[in-house]
Structure 1
Amino acid sequence: MTDLAELGETIKAALPAAVSNASIAFGELTLTVDAAKIVEVVRFLRDDPRCRFISPIDVTAVDYPGRANRFDVVWHFLSPSLNTRIRLRAEASETTQVPSLIDLFPGVDWFEREAYDLYGVIFTGHPDMRRILTDYGFDGHPLRKDFPLSGFVEVRYDDDEKRVVYEPVRLNQEFRKFDFLSPWEGADYPLPGDEKRSE
């Protein structure tokens, strides 16, 4: 296994304009990169003999709705020759167009489509940027933290019409608040029937 700190410094020195930070967490090297230069960074990681990260593992995103650049787009790669994984992280807003890696790694096709479908991250240069997990008419991106838990529509199969129908979400009961106190710990306030305990 390679020295991750040394590898991080090597990559930062080779790509100073593209890589802003290198850190190690959970036994993996994480590079913070400029989203516009992701193709340059990944090409270096794939082709440089000190790296040889030839296997893309995943492309996903993390949503931080309180930030101006609300998404962290995250790529994971494996270098079998170094027996090392690397994580690339780039910030992106809802309108940031992140370059696609499909020309370098055709296998990221569905990963990028999934990130688009579930988070709304747009990858430029992708030949087939359409939804992959939700319906084509689906409204919104379900893994965003501001997406409503109940969704916007519900889908069911109608036996009479012999087709799938979409209907607005109906909540069949009102919102209820539950008291999840442990019966062994007791409440900080008197419960009904406990008036005699205080006497």
Structure 2
Amino acid sequence: MAATAWEDELTRQLKQHFGSQISEFSTYLGQQFMVASPGAVIPILEHLKQEAGFDYLVDVTAVDYPDRPERFELVYILYSFARNQRIRIKTRIAEGVRPRTAVGVYPTANWLEREVFDMFGIEFEGHPDMRRILLPEDWSGHPLRKDTSILAMDNRWVKEHLGIESGQ
């Protein structure tokens, strides 16, 4: 099943305000999303919060596409209690790009962006506390990257810190 165009008053407003900085508005299995340029994400989040009532940042996550020039797709999931509507803002970034933090717009981005850093190695510019949140500080690598060998990382860490073989 392919994504279909998403067209409503909100998309018309966003097109008027952001123009070509948003390249796509689509719906897939009832889920609405837009694809935006990396530099437009924070202004779009601000606009959606202040002008459209999207008052809750549900999640920030990423997807690793190692064969693409823009290897990572960041996904911001917003919810409006007043509208009872959920939307996603996606943006694509190359390895090593540091997107701006959304903490100033949505304080919940603090821990969510830390999780993205922990799992994918994406650092957010201006983040107040960019350190691991789930894994130990001495863990090497980022387990949700497709070029990471989870088993090798787990075996090494368990042996060093617990003195046993993994799976014992």
Taking structure 1 as the reference length, the TM-score comes to 0.74
- In structure 2, what is the equivalent of residue 18 of structure 1? 21
Show structure 1 runs of 5+ residues with no match.
158-163, 172-199
Where in structure 2 are there 5+ consecutive unaligned residues? 1-5
User: Which residue, 4, 7, 16 being the options, matches 1:5?
Assistant: 7
How far apart are the structure 1 equivalents of 2:60 and 2:138? 24
Matches within 5 A, 1:1-199: 5-6=7-8, 7-48=10-51, 51-152=52-153, 153-155=156-158, 164-165=161-162
Q: Using the alignment, how far apart are the partners of 1:27 and 1:142 within structure 2? A: 30
Partner Cα distance (1:53, 1:74) in 2: 15
Specify the alignment match of 1:190 in structure 2: none
AA aligned to 1:20 is S
Which structure has more RCO (C-alpha within 8 Å, separation ≥ 6)?
A: 2
Cα-Cα RMSD: 2.2
Distance verdict in 2 for CA 1:66–1:80, change over 3 Å: same
The higher radius of gyration belongs to: 1
**Amino acid corresponding to residue 5 of structure 1 in structure 2:** E
CA offset at residue 149 of structure 1? Answer: 3.3
Whichever residue aligns with residue 134 of structure 2, its letter is L
| TM-score, normalising length: structure 2 | 0.87
